[in-house]
Chains A and B, each alone.
Chain A
Amino acid sequence: MIAELGLAALWLAAALAALQLVAGFLGARNPDTEMAALVRPAAVVQGLLCAFAFVMLLWLFAVTDLSVKLVATNSHSAKPPIFKLSGAWGNHEGSMLLWITVMALAGGLIAAVERRLPEKTMQATLGAQAFVGLGFYAFLLFSSNPFERLPQPAVEGLGLNPLLQDIGLAFHPPTLYFGYVGLSVAFSFAVGALLTRQVTPEFARAMRPWVLGAWVFLTLGITAGSYWAYYELGWGGWWFWDPVENASLMPWLAATALLHSASVLAARDALRAWTIMLGVVAFSMSMVGTFLVRSGILTSVHAFAVDPERGSFILVLLAIYIGGALVLFATRASSIAEGERFAATSREGALVVNNVMLCAILGVVLMGTLYPLLTEAFDVRVSVGPPYFNPVSAIFVVPMLLVMMVGPLLRWRRDRLERVKAPVALVAAILLGTLAVLLIVSTTGLLPLLGLVLAAALAVASFLPLRGRNLRRLPLAVWGMVIAHFGLAVALFGMASESAFSQEKLAAVAAGDTAEVGPWSVVLDGVHPVAGPNWTALEGQLLASYDGGDPIELDPQARSFWAPVQQTTESALATRWNGQLYAVIGNEAGAGENGARWQLRLWWKPFVTFIWYGGLLVALGGVLALLGRLFDDLKRRRVKARLAERRADEAELAAAGGRG
């Protein structure tokens, strides 16, 4: 019954989306028609119905209803409760339902609260939102129904991949989805603005919170995903330029560009066409990401060709949305005036550099990700990995970071470099000073060296915009920018430091033996079996001491899950302010003089944690900027309401005076 209720709610929501689409586009022509009045309520109710359907799915997983196919294939009655719930979206169908639920709720929210834009534009925006939504409803209902029943209830579930039984992973995919959905809302705004030719600062202000929100979620999602890969996979790598990682990086790059370009449009009414274009690109990238992850094409192009249903579905959706948006853009772009002009040396100029560079990096990542898939289709297999991505993207990252140090100091519209001579000289001095010191003391490669130097300069430069300003009265959004830029410097420092200074030790040790890595000495105290709810493991007890200090106990495990049968390594980390010791226990390595020996893998990774601290700071900056903008909007709304009230009062008084 529960499953049927969920499915019914989903069909109703799809029907409402169809209504919203038709009424929205009628309303965009004439917002006074009766149909137009239906658009906002349709969006709100649709959001509620989707939320209901999703809650029904959670319920099915919570009670492990094994007559539902999705539950039977992805859950297990012995699984811990939190992972039963996360199992609801830890699979293809459930995650698509989560996606559409978030999208419908977002649509409902703009329908309920967004009143700044002309009603025509809003109607077109909600119509576009419904158009995007309908594609996903069709996908869900026709090819990925999460509520499908089994003809015969299963006796026991097939379990969830033990690698996915991890709290980080329970929240990682939804975070990225929130990001993708935010970009779909930005896309709807862009289409609405294009259709009604209202590419105005007001449009940028209405769209900006969604872009900011999406960007924050994407930042968090990428940061968390990277940390998850780092501690879960047991080899200490934190970024692999893997297609799935790139699938989340590409929308982030596009969203970063869109964010900055929307700020220019909101503040200065410039870069109109550019902002719209980036809105389309950002959503395209999130669709490309979804396609890559969901279609199975990454497993193998040939596997995709054998069972192309889902992949083709997303590919068709992709073609319709992107193709449609580009055609619309091509036909309307000429009618969007270019917007306000500005000099090369200006805040806008620096932001244009940022935009262009981000787009180029996006191009590199897109090329490197898709090209191997393309050649594989012709049976030529090539690998594109870090030796390609790192240097090629650095060509664009380095100039972007250099401009980023100066850009926020410049004034809007027109400025002179002489005016910011002192801070620029300071930043240049830090750049050259760090470079000189590093060249003397370290023998690291070019890229880590550049990373360290740029990180040092950017860390200082990101605070320079605060110079000469009253910190108490500084808008929250400026704090957001400063913190986000500083966070990028911190993350960059962590990345460069990890690749420049990491030390590795592989050792076969018996109980009582010591292994040294960097400043750490690690003693294997013993190895003994342990059991968890659905696994057994061999646990090593390590005593690690930093530089002769008090030993810390570390317990890395080699786990064996039994439903389904799998083995994983659970690394153990000792975190200090200046880095992490990373310990993994492997197989038995034969008998030595002191009894059985075990494989130990140890890494000392100086400042590696800064990568994720930096990511969190970037996200925090985004949150502050978002809150700052929202408070401003609310204040403006209150002032407007009060003005309207006063005007009404005055009119009433005047009317009363006229009568009297």
Chain B
Amino acid sequence: MATRCWAEAPAFAGARAYLAAFLLAFALCLPAAAQQSLPPAPYAYRQLEDPRQEAAAQALMETLRCLKCQSQSIADSDAPMAGDMRHQVRTRIAAGEEPEAIRAWLVQRYGDYVSYAPAVSETTWPLFAVPALLVLAVLLALWRRLRLRRRA
């Protein structure tokens, strides 16, 4: 179902438009689905009482991907699923769980895709190796260009 809705999203759009269009197309495709008629989970649109806990929850939510959107975190989305995930994050933070433990739980549940902070692993090591190489390349380039000049 979701795929068909994808195809209906407009071919041209700016960054956010893509995502929002998709979202809305998605919402459109599921008017009769049960989850649409349910009210959002309590903590989807409600902050935690403790400002420090809320800040921790917010920081975590900003690094979790809304799986039904394109390139948006769950902190930036009206999608029902993002609301549910915000609820999960807030209630777990309120229960005293560590943010990284919640991230691990979500990754276990939805896969690496859900986390915007890639961890070093078999599939992601180039993401970290390349910047390290870039640092070396920068130093080398500067050394070559600037050292040679000084001698000249």
Contacts and interface: CB of A to CB of B under 8 A. Distances in A.
A233 B124 contact: no
Contact of A383 (B13, B75, B77, B118): B118
Contacts of B112: 380-383
B32 interface: no
Interface string A425-445: 000000000000000000000
Contact of A382 (B15, B113, B147): B113
A364 B134 contact: yes
B12 A91 contact: yes
A240 B141 contact: no
Contact of B24 (A173, A356, A566, A601): A566
Given A237-B76, A356-B142, A506-B47, A173 B14 contact: yes
A520 interface: no
Interface stretch (A316-324, A342-350, A489-497): A342-350
A364 B6 contact: no
Interface in B20-66: 20-21, 24, 27-28, 39-40, 45-47, 58, 62-63, 65
B142 A371 contact: no
A200 interface: no
A298 interface: yes
Interface residues of B, number: 60
Given A298-B18, A341-B152, A240 B76 contact: yes
Nearest to A386: B116
Given A385-B116, A386-B116, A505 B47 contact: yes
Contacts of A228: 14, 16
A225 interface: yes
B58 A371 contact: no
Nearest to A363: B134
A12 interface: no
Nearest to B139: A356
Contacts of B146: 344, 349, 352
Interface in A468-526: 504-506, 508
A367 B126 contact: yes
Interface in A269-299: 296, 298-299
Contacts of B147: 344
Nearest to A245: B15
Nearest to B11: A92
A631 interface: no
B12 A360 contact: no
Interface in B119-152: 123-124, 126-127, 130-131, 134-135, 137-138, 141-142, 145-147, 149-150, 152
Contacts of B58: 504
Contact of B78 (A229, A234, A392): A234
B65 A385 contact: yes
Contacts of B73: 237, 240, 385
Most buried by B among A382, A505, A567, A599: A382
Contacts of A233: 16, 20, 76
A299 B13 contact: no
B9 interface: yes
Contacts of B27: 567
B15 A95 contact: no
A344 B150 contact: yes
B67 to A, nearest CB: 10
B104 interface: no
A345 to B, nearest CB: 9
Contact of B75 (A90, A235, A243, A566): A235
Contacts of A464: none
Interface stretch (A44-52, A161-169, A531-539, A632-640): A161-169
Interface in B90-105: none
Contacts of B145: 352, 356
B77 A244 contact: no
A153 interface: no
A135 interface: no
Nearest to B73: A385
Contacts of B13: 161, 163-164
Contact of B137 (A173, A360, A395): A360
B137 A172 contact: no
Contacts of B114: 383
Contacts of B88: none
A396 B11 contact: no
Contact of B12 (A92, A245, A587): A92
B149 A299 contact: no
B127 A343 contact: no
A466 interface: no
Nearest to B137: A360
A360 B124 contact: no
A245 B71 CA distance: 10
A489 to B, nearest CB: 23
B116 A163 contact: no
A258 to B, nearest CB: 16
B32 to A, nearest CB: 15
A568 B149 contact: no
A96 B65 CA distance: 32
B140 to A, nearest CB: 10
Given A298-B18, A381-B113, A383-B116, A363 B24 contact: no
Nearest to A246: B15
B20 A367 contact: no
A387 B63 contact: yes
Given A163-B17, A353-B142, A567-B24, 19 more contacts: A225-B14, A234-B78, A240-B73, A242-B71, A244-B14, A244-B15, A244-B18, A298-B70, A299-B18, A303-B6, A352-B142, A368-B127, A371-B124, A375-B124, A380-B123, A381-B112, A386-B62, A566-B28, A586-B78
18 contacts: A91-B10, A92-B11, A161-B17, A163-B17, A235-B75, A242-B15, A303-B6, A341-B152, A352-B142, A352-B145, A356-B141, A364-B134, A381-B113, A384-B127, A385-B65, A385-B117, A396-B134, A566-B28
Interface of B: 6, 9-21, 24, 27-28, 39-40, 45-47, 58, 62-63, 65, 70-73, 75-78, 111-118, 123-124, 126-127, 130-131, 134-135, 137-138, 141-142, 145-147, 149-150, 152
Q: Which 5 A-B pairs have the closest CB atoms?
A: A385-B116, A387-B117, A244-B15, A344-B146, A242-B71
Interface of A: 90-92, 95, 161, 163-164, 169, 172-173, 225, 228-229, 232-235, 237, 240-245, 296, 298-300, 303, 341-344, 349, 352-353, 356-357, 360, 363-364, 367-368, 371, 375, 380-388, 392, 395-396, 504-506, 508, 565-569, 586-587, 589-590, 599, 601
